Amino acid sequence: MKEIIKAFDKQPLIKIEDRNYIINPLLDHAPETGYKLMRDVVIELTKITELARANKIVGEEDRGGYIAALMAYKNKKSLAMVKWNPGGLKGDLSINFRNAYTNGKMYVHGIKKGEDVILVEDIVDSGGTLIAMINLLKKSGVNIRDVVAIAEKIEYAGCRRIKEETGVSVKCLLRVSCAGDRSSVVSVLKNNRWEKF
């Protein structure tokens, strides 16, 4: 967990639209994403995820997509990606979405009705991306067994919004504040309990 905390604590913030965006090595690869950080993310997300209940990991192709891929590979699960660009393949499903920074359509292919999936995301801001992904997966008829993310920005209460709008809870490893000039880790999930950092 040490490497994950380091990646999200005291990191520079930039303003995009009306939100503070965290520049960090895990998601922006600035300066680079080290092996130890990727290893810690997979280990820690695996600890809080009910992998035995699912046969597939689903991620979103943007910044956190590679994290879902690492999780799938390490845990010997199949992988499906939600994309922002249509694949044009027969059976593609789509949904409109709006997140903190953009809007458009999301598409998914490669999932089957009745499958058991775990949804893996990088960071929860306003919750818009995960709400769209959850609704898209529900529309496809899969069983969402778990939703996990690395961090939640507490100022935007995205996890609460996701729960209110979809009925699905998100498990995060960290709660991060984006108030001020730099990010700060506020609490860390340890043994399924939040501990102040």
CATH of 2-196, one of 3.90.25.10, 3.20.20.20, 3.40.50.2020, 2.40.30.170: 3.40.50.2020
**Confidence (pLDDT) at 101:** 67
* DSSP string for 43-74: HHHHHHS-GGG-SEEEEESSTTHHHHHHHHHH
pTM, entire model: 0.92
Query: At 86, phi and psi to the nearest 5?
Result: -65, 140
pLDDT at residue 179, as a whole number: 92
Instruction: Return per-residue pLDDT of the chain as tens, 197 residues.
Output: 999 999 999 999 999 878 888 999 999 998 899 999 999 999 999 999 989 999 999 999 888 899 999 999 999 999 999 987 776 777 778 877 777 667 778 888 888 999 999 999 999 999 999 999 999 999 999 999 999 999 999 999 999 999 999 999 999 999 999 998 999 999 999 998 999 99
> Which DSSP string do the residues of 150-192 spell out, in sequence order?
EEEEGGGTHHHHHHHHHS---EEEEEEE--SSB-EEEEEEETT
Q: What are the residue ranges spanned by the domains of the chain?
A: 2-196
